[in-house]
Amino acid sequence: MKPEYVKTIIQLALAEDIGEGDITTDNLVPSNSRSKARLISKSDGIICGVNLAREVFKALNSKIIFRPLIKDGQAVHKGSIIAEISGPTRALLSGERVALNLLSFLSGIATQTRLFVKKIKPYKAAIMDTRKTTPLLRQLQRYAVRTGGGVNHRFNLNDMALVKDNHRVACGARHMNEAISTLRKRTKEKIEVEVDDLNQLKEILDSKVDIILLDNMTPKQVAQAVYLRQKAKSRVLLEASGGITIKNIRQYAAAGVDRISVGALTHSHRALDISMEFIQTSTFPVIPVIPAKAGIHFLFLFFTLLFISPLWAQDQDDINQANISSGAIFDDRALLEGYTQKYANEPMDILLAMIADDSLGEYKCTAAVRVFKEKYADEVLSNEKSNILRILIRRLNRSDSPFVQVEIMHTLVVLDRYDYFESMVPILIQKMDHYNPVVSTMAYDDLLEITKDSLYPREARIVFETLRKIFFLSRNRLQNITTPDLKLQQKLDLMRWSIRILGTQELKRLPSEVINLL
């Protein structure tokens, strides 16, 4: 999608929704209020449009920090956290509906497409969209189809020639071959011709047409059309269209057709249910207006505080244990998000150089690893991987920062799941008990992302055995627990995931106290 197009759509959507101003928010929420919120999926599906949601909030306030936890094309379940957003409260509230509308709309298309694509496996037919799209949103909808695993048909009438019944009648051609011959002389674009029955198919099989669209034919008729093509030794592509639903698409794919176009992908989908929930709000004190006579006293006080408080002047990334013990208050998550946003556009080689630099502080290093993981880990070439793994493992072995350790361990699993799942995941599970809530949350979120789409018994076994040992060691403490706290609930959720894959027979290997909580 062209950035100019996306920007225009977002501006029009915001102008439509906000109008001359958000009366409720502007009159109830202080201008200096800041909040943190999460985008949460309320149902299972395929996510699409995360970047659009980010651009909606950024269009309202560039200071907003948007941290995606799910990428476009990934599957989510009910309760999955798609993204975390922090920044001015007014911008979050005013952009909420437009961001959710776009995200839900596109995720619904991607989800619908993925259902159709999965339904025909292992057959190789391409699942394609049509021009039956919402006016002005075709680029977005086609992107959602691709995200769901589908293939785009022609974008507009200029992309290729498609001869339908009405064209043949309107141009006065008595035979289809006449229309094809005329087009071949006047354009070099691909030519597709619609046929309604097998007799029309036979008429044009030997023509210079590229694709033949089998319109409203039954699966049996489509199979006969495939046979006729093979018999004629023709290389023309066959596309089925019309009356195709999720219930019968597998029959069309089994008939041997090359392409199946489904208008329902973009005109009859159901939006994915997604919500935005606030988790923190704070209002910073407003500096009062200083009377003229008191001005000199205020300036004196200001500069005195400035020079006697070194914490105000130093980089938060360099705060040491002495500052912590002396009562300095700071927000680990805010620092990490800030540096992540700062390094978001850095190229891969710069990020790797930062990770390799032992003098780089823990927040900056963690952010560099995170950006690398989110932007580049899935695109690493095989000849680059060994060197990148060497850099990450070296930094992991040299760092005593739990932030850096957790982020690198997750990245190693993303880069080479087979080799590092067994060694990294048990440590991440242990990190869930870290005294710092930001570290424990990072570890749990990483484990959720690692395990969410996995169906491998080997991986489920590793998680199961690690948690089983932990539960047996804490068996006495579990005896008196009726309502699990957050950390225990998270472990139980991971245990449930492993049991779903391994089978309920594994329950008998767990302490009775755990079984009761499950």
Considering 72, 194, 346, 449, which one is annotated as catalytic? Answer: 194
Q: Is 118 a catalytic residue?
A: no
Under 8 Å between Cβ of 133 and 141 = yes
Considering 38, 58, 71, 132, which one is annotated as catalytic? Answer: 132
Q: Is 422 a catalytic residue?
A: no
| C-alpha dist (Å) from residue 216 to 125, 164, 243, 262, 319 | 17, 13, 6, 12, 69
Q: Is 97 a catalytic residue?
A: yes
Considering 17, 215, 433, 445, which one is annotated as catalytic? Answer: 215
The token duo for 165 is 């019944």
Q: Is 164 a catalytic residue?
A: yes
Name the amino acid, one letter, at 7: K
Secondary structure (DSSP) of 314-376: S-GGG--HHHHHTT----HHHHHHHHHHHTTT--HHHHHHHHH-TTS-HHHHHHHHHHHHHHT
| C-alpha dist (Å) from residue 153 to 219, 263, 264, 315, 341 | 21, 11, 14, 53, 37
Pinpoint the alpha helices (H) of 120-212: 138-147, 165-171, 176-186, 198-204
Q: How far is it, in rounded angstroms, from Cα 351 to Cα 347?
A: 7
Report the DSSP pairing between strands 81-88 and 237-241. Answer: unpaired
SS3 47: coil
Q: Is 132 a catalytic residue?
A: yes
Residue 469's nearest CA partner among 430, 412, 411 is 430
Considering 42, 58, 71, 97, which one is annotated as catalytic? Answer: 97
Under 8 Å between Cβ of 118 and 82 = no
Q: How far is it, in rounded angstroms, from Cα 122 to Cα 360?
A: 49
Q: How far is it, in rounded angstroms, from Cα 452 to Cα 263?
A: 31
Instruction: Name the DSSP class of 391.
Output: H
Considering 58, 146, 164, 184, which one is annotated as catalytic? Answer: 164
Question: Under 8 Å CB-to-CB from 384, ≥6 apart: which residues?
Answer: none
Q: How far is it, in rounded angstroms, from Cα 104 to Cα 293?
A: 57
Active site residues: 97, 132, 164, 194, 215
